[in-house]
Amino acid sequence: MPTGCSGRIISTICRLLGIKGKERKGKERKGKERKGEEKRREEKRREEKRREEKRREEKRKEKKRKEKKRKEKKREKKRKEKKKEKKRKEKKRKEKKRKEKKRKEKKRKEKKRKEKKRKEKKRKDKT
């Protein structure tokens, strides 16, 4: 309730109506308590909103982290697969090279053997 000059008017009215000061003050207090309660409720609501926003933000961050982790895992898997593939190809290439070498060696030996045989035959024919 307002104070000052208007307070005197209120007290005069209250006196004429037969309302004692304590009762009047109690009513004022109730109004103030109600305002305080409203403020507390509003503060509580704001606090709850903040908490909820924080929770949502945390969830978003967690989701982002998980997504990043998943992508990194995928990338790592791809890298390993590529490495494996490279190794396989290298092995295949070396194997091919080795076989080619072996084949050439065999061919060379065969040629040498035939040449030797031919020379031997020629020598026998002479005698």
| pTM for the predicted model, two decimal places | 0.46
Please report, for the chain, the start and end positions of each structural domain, with discontinuous segments joined by +.
Answer: 5-126
pLDDT (tens digit per residue) in 22-42? 555 555 566 667 777 888 999
Cα–Cα distance list, 75 to 62, 66, 79, 80, 82 (Å): 20, 14, 6, 9, 10
pLDDT (tens digit per residue) in 64-120? 999 999 999 999 999 999 999 999 999 999 999 999 999 999 999 999 999 999 988
Residues 44 and 38 sit within 8 Å (Cβ to Cβ): no
